[in-house]
Amino acid sequence: MEQSETAGVVGARTQGAIEAMATLRRRCPWSSRQDHSSLEKYAREETEELIEALADYRADPNPDHRAAVVEELGDVFYQVLFHSALLDESGSAPYGHTLGTIVEGLEAKLIRRHPLAFGEDASDEQMASLEDVEREYRRIKTEEKQQKDTNQ
């Protein structure tokens, strides 16, 4: 599948999940009563279950363990989707707005923190050394922390 085709499929399925979340918030008594505090324990539990599934997969990378990792990633994504829906509601934004902002911020962060992969001189033929990547990453993280401290 081409990258643009993958993006289309992922986008359509993500939109479906956003719409399902909106429906749950309107029609499901449990979902409609949840808030960030009540969901906190589920976010922790799902993250712990993902870590366990990853450990099982690393120990034995069979199809069942891979499927378990995929399932747990979905459960963690559900938490992201739920919390982003709550933020949309609190800010009177359309469902999906916060999730879009999350993905946009993630893309910017990936590019900003990996200039050796995305910069002018980057190429698929010449990969930077691990040492260069680690040094550059530490430098960028330090700059980001200083910037954050300055803004507070």
pLDDT tens for 6-41 read: 888 899 999 999 999 999 999 999 999 999 999 999
What is the end-to-end Cα distance of the chain in Å, rounded? Answer: 45
| pLDDT of amino acid 148 | 87
For residue 99, is it within any domain? Answer: yes
| pLDDT of amino acid 95 | 87
For residue 28, is it within any domain? Answer: yes
For residue 65, is it within any domain? Answer: yes
- Reduce the DSSP state of residue 122 to 3 states and report it: coil
For residue 54, is it within any domain? Answer: yes
Mean pLDDT of 91-105: 92
Reply yes or no on whether the pLDDT at 145 is more than 70: yes
Reply yes or no on whether the pLDDT at 124 is more than 80: yes
For residue 147, is it within any domain? Answer: no
pTM: 0.86
> Which range of residues forms the domain containing residue 67?
3-112
Assigned token pair, 129: 């050394």
Residues 41-90 pLDDT 10s: 999 999 999 999 999 999 999 999 999 999 999 999 999 999 999 999 99
Reply yes or no on whether the pLDDT at 152 is more than 90: no
* String of DSSP letters for 56-80: HHHH---HHHHHHHHHHHHHHHHHH
Give ∠ CA 20-67-97 in degrees, rounded to 5: 30
Reply yes or no on whether the pLDDT at 118 is more than 70: yes
CATH of the domain at 93: 1.10.287.1080
| pLDDT of amino acid 151 | 86
Total structural domains within the chain? 1
For residue 123, is it within any domain? Answer: no
